[in-house]
Amino acid sequence: MTTIRLERPIRIENGNGPPRYPVKEVLARFRDRIYRGDRCECACCGRSFKLFLYSNYMAALCPYCLSVERYRLLCKYLREKTDFGSYPMRVLDIAPMWCFQEFCRSFENVEYMSIDIESRLAMRHMDIRDLEFKDDHFDRIVCYHVLEHIDDDRKAMDELYRVLKPGGQAIIQVPIFTETTIERDELSEAEAEDLLKYDCHLRSYGRDFGGILSVSGFDVEVDDFARKFGVEELKRFGLDCTEDLYVCTK
């Protein structure tokens, strides 16, 4: 007897392109029909809604693609301030989110690749500290809120620099809680609980994060893109004005 194993999320391979997730797509279309309106806009999926959704764990979720504030900020930045997708480019997405995968899928010129140590959303499973790609391979890299989970974060940064093409750009984001970066083992248990919030966070990055990235060779620009928007625009687009973008060029 043949056994058919279904894994969540249900995934359909799509050649060399990003996989498709039919259940996610059906539920997204259903939510879109319920919440379609003109008060809010999502820069990831390009749709407009009556409101963003809220939960105890995530704030301002897009009803369609379930993007959160930091990903809408990223997509709005890529749409408005860069040439993303205007020419053939290879894009590496570390620890992928469906909302950004589908954003990349909307650009014909984007050759998308996603990796994670174990996530079913990732196209390939690998360790960010030991990437299985040749040198100078990707035009763009997105690494969002990943490095705070990695023990040897310097090795991960070196690997991101290695696989990025000369002249290419990586947007590397982490939560910034302090003025200077502090490792978990430098904190008491009470301090770690208060400052790091999550057991899986191994450090609190500080305002020196740009300097840390530059040690791996990156030319780092800290872009306060979100601060250009007024209060009403931040609400309309569902953006977090406290997160600057660390744009790293090789």
Instruction: Summarize the confidence of residues 193-197 as an average pLDDT.
Output: 77
Instruction: Summarize the confidence of residues 99-108 as an average pLDDT.
Output: 96
Cα–Cα distance, 157 to 143 (Å, whole number) = 10
pLDDT digits (tens, 9 = 90+) for 222-243: 999 999 999 999 999 999 888 8
Locate the domains of the chain by residue range: 69-249
pLDDT digits (tens, 9 = 90+) for 127-146: 999 999 999 999 999 999 99
User: pTM for this structure?
Assistant: 0.91
What pLDDT does residue 9 have? 66
* CA-to-CA dists, residue 32 to 52, 113, 149, 154, 231, angstroms: 11, 27, 33, 41, 25
Higher pLDDT, 7 or 150: 150
Tokens 């893109």 sit on residue: 225
Burial of 111 (0-12, 13-18, 19+ CB in 10 A): middle
Calculate the CA 27 to chain-centre distance. Answer: 22
CATH of 69-249, one of 3.40.50.10330, 3.40.50.150, 3.30.70.3340, 3.30.2130.10: 3.40.50.150
Cα–Cα distance, 171 to 153 (Å, whole number) = 15
Instruction: Summarize the confidence of residues 22-40 as an average pLDDT.
Output: 93
Cα–Cα distance, 171 to 100 (Å, whole number) = 13
pLDDT band at 5 (very low <50, low <70, confident <90, very high): very low
